[in-house]
Amino acid sequence: MAIFDIYLDVAPDYLETIKDIYKFSIVLIVFQVLIHYSSTNKNIIQSSLSGVPVNDEFVTLLIYILLGLAFYHLVALKILSFH
């Protein structure tokens, strides 16, 4: 049960697409906020994808993405729900 329940009269595959767009938007917004407020002067995405396989920047990138997914499942689904 969410705070806002949105009932859409669309096909189930369109409904899943809308839910996916909502999920990816929330995850990317949280990811951007975390990168903005972290006090690193490095380009986390570029430095995590180049260099040694599991470097500090990669772990930071992974943690930020996991926090974005956790925020989606623990908070965003409780705020807005599509049916």
- pLDDT at position 43: 77
As a whole number, the mean pLDDT across the chain is 89
Mean pLDDT of 40-56: 76
Q: Is the pTM of this model over 0.95?
A: no
Asked whether the beta carbons of 56 and 38 are under 8 A apart, the reply is no
In the chain, where are the structural domains located? 4-82
pLDDT digits (tens, 9 = 90+) for 10-29: 999 999 999 999 999 999 99
Q: Which of 66, 59, 60, 70 is closest to 40 using CA atoms? A: 60
- pLDDT at position 50: 80
Dihedral (Cα; 29, 27, 63, 42), 10-degree rounding:
-30
